[in-house]
Amino acid sequence: MKSARIIAATILALAAGPALAQSLPDPTRPPVAFDASVSAPAAAVAAAPSLRSIIRRQGARSAAVINGVYVEIGGKVGEATLERVGEDSVDLRSATGRETLYLTPGVGKQVAPTEAGVAKRPRGKTEKANRP
């Protein structure tokens, strides 16, 4: 009789766990501010294309992911056509003109210094010992 009560209590405790977890927020869900459907109308999001990824292929058509949609060269993004896929940008052409989208807007490339311009660090004891 005592074991039957323990089993019943265990079943009730196990059944209550998922019910209590339903009220907890999803920790992996982004904040509401990042949800475009809540903060901005769909027309405004479609009006401002954003470059998400570039796929460059040797001997095949390059492509890009723009606004979450895979587009190959010559493909359409709304009213614009994907013309060129570069290393860090793509060019779109539409009736209103040409637009360049960058993977990292506001971040420019800088030339790395050559080996002649870099100071060499002195070798440590372990490096001298392991030298041929």
Q: What domains are defined for the chain?
A: 46-102 (2.30.30.830)
Tens digit of each residue's pLDDT (9 = 90 or more) over 121-132 = 555 555 555 555
pLDDT of residue 20: 67
pLDDT of residue 104: 85
Mean pLDDT of 36-46: 49
pLDDT of residue 125: 57
- Return mean pLDDT, the chain: 77
pLDDT of residue 33: 66
Mean pLDDT of 3-22: 79
pLDDT of residue 44: 46
Residue carrying the six token digits 């190959």 = 72
Whether 112 shows a pLDDT value over 80: the answer reads: no
Tens digit of each residue's pLDDT (9 = 90 or more) over 48-102 = 788 999 999 888 889 999 998 999 999 999 899 999 999 889 999 999 999 999 9
Pairing assessment for the beta strands 69-72 and 63-66 based on DSSP bridges: antiparallel
d(CA 42, CA 125): 63
What is 27-57 written as a DSSP string? TTSPPGGG-HHHHS-HHHHHHS--EEEEE--
